[in-house]
Amino acid sequence: MSDTAAIEAEGLVKHYGKTRALNGLDLTVARGTVYGLLGPNGAGKTTAVRVLATLLRADGGQARVLGHDVATQAGAVRRVIGLTGQYAALDEYLTGRSNLVMIGELSRLTGRAARRRADELLEQFDLTDAADRAVKTYSGGMRRRLDLAASLIGHPGVLFLDEPTTGLDPSARALMWDIVRQLVADGTTLLLTTQYLDEADQLADRIAVIDGGRVIAEGMPAELKASMGGQRLLITLTEGSDASAAAAALRPFTTRPVIPNEWDRLIEVPVTATDGLATEVVRAMDAAGVKVNDIAVRSASLDDVFLTLTGHKAEENEKTEVTA
């Protein structure tokens, strides 16, 4: 085992009855990096985090966090991790400050150290003004910030963020992203789960795409995008154009089958970008007698990666949502 890895997991398996939530999950996260676990609801992201954070015992495989085995050295793991789950895990009736002090004391800080850390974190997360108000008066964004602050009180070396921005409005989300970037600058290793592709793209140094309880693709965001054929060609035809003629004319430009779509005037195909590609496509369309309103070549997004790998879009598949 390498000394540089903050998190190492090999062949993790977890069943819930007949459901295999984890099905041989492998993961290596280097120290001081942000690692994104990307997948739809039900893919096994939260189960993976719960196993790594010692909340669940895996049925098979093994995992280490900063060198400590999550099954046999759970206590040692808990001393070096922080966890922020999908729901703000706070006492609604306590003030923000009391919550932080409580979590600090339970993280084995003395009362004095816990109060000092609470003050620091309240200031850092811009919560000083609300510090002495009950948490139930907080907005969603403030709760998430306080929740994140709580998971940092013991200076964890590894922080697990399980869907940290789900349900937040765009400005609260941007603020969370800033905070996350700041944490990384401080050297904390971060394992982040998300179903938002842009979030993984923005924050993560490496990404594992998870589906059906195992990793189906892994790499830097740019690598993943490049592996999907790089570019996409988008063409919008004029009203009444012959879509099948357009599809036939496009066949020389792509390796994938082009399926004409009679009722949709937008055609999208993966292409390999070459100099003058757009010009040649327009000429081919003209030769086929097809009129074009708009043409664009864009890089593949993580959405495309996801769709290609899993056969479904990242944000569908809501039916396996939490069954509390």
Partner 1 sequence: MTATTLSPADLTTERSPFVQFLGDVWVLTRRSLARIRREPETLSDVTIQPVMFVLMFAYVFGGAIGIPGGGGYHSYLIGGMLGMGLAQTAPGTAVAVVSDMETGLIDRFRSLPMSRAAVLTARTIADLLTQVIGAAVVALVGVAIGWRITGGVGPAVEAFALALLFGYAFTWAGVCLGMVLRSAETAQQAGFIIFLPLTFISSAFVPTQGMPGWLQPVAEWNPMSSLAAACRQLFGNPNPAAAVHAWPAQHPELAVVCWSVALLVIFAPLAVHLSNQGTMITRFT
- Provide the binding-site residues for partner 1, judged by CB under 8 A: 16, 19, 21, 41-47, 50, 53-56, 75, 78-79, 81-83, 85-94, 98, 102-103, 105-110, 112-113, 116-117, 120-121, 123-124, 134, 150-151, 154-155, 162-163, 182, 186, 320-324
Least CB distance to partner 1 at residue 319 (A):
10
CA–CA distance from 313 to each of 57, 182, 193 (Å)?
Answer: 30, 30, 16
- Residue with Cβ nearer partner 1 (111 or 289): 111
User: How distant is the alpha carbon of residue 218 from its chain centre?
Assistant: 13
Least CB distance to partner 1 at residue 251 (A):
41
Q: Residue type for 266, please?
A: L
- Residue with Cβ nearer partner 1 (88 or 281): 88
Burial group, residue 81, by CB count within 10 angstroms (0-12, 13-18, 19+): buried
- Residue with Cβ nearer partner 1 (131 or 271): 131
- Residue with Cβ nearer partner 1 (71 or 248): 71
- Residue with Cβ nearer partner 1 (78 or 265): 78
Residues shown for the chain: 324
3-state class of 295 per DSSP? strand
Measuring CA to CA, which residue among 203, 240, 191 is closest to residue 82?
Answer: 191
- Residue with Cβ nearer partner 1 (114 or 203): 114
CA–CA distance from 103 to each of 128, 130, 249 (Å)?
Answer: 17, 18, 64
In 10 A of CB 281, how many CB atoms?
A: 22
DSSP letter, residue 241: -
What span, in angstroms and rounded, lies between the C-alpha atoms of 261 and 157? 52
- Residue with Cβ nearer partner 1 (134 or 245): 134
Least CB distance to partner 1 at residue 279 (A):
47
CA–CA distance from 30 to each of 34, 53, 164, 190 (Å)?
Answer: 8, 17, 21, 10
- Residue with Cβ nearer partner 1 (185 or 287): 185
- DSSP E strands in 181-277: the ranges are 189-194, 206-211, 214-219, 231-237, 266-271
3-state class of 92 per DSSP? coil
Burial group, residue 182, by CB count within 10 angstroms (0-12, 13-18, 19+): exposed
Is residue 178 within 8 A of residue 103, CB to CB? The reply is: no
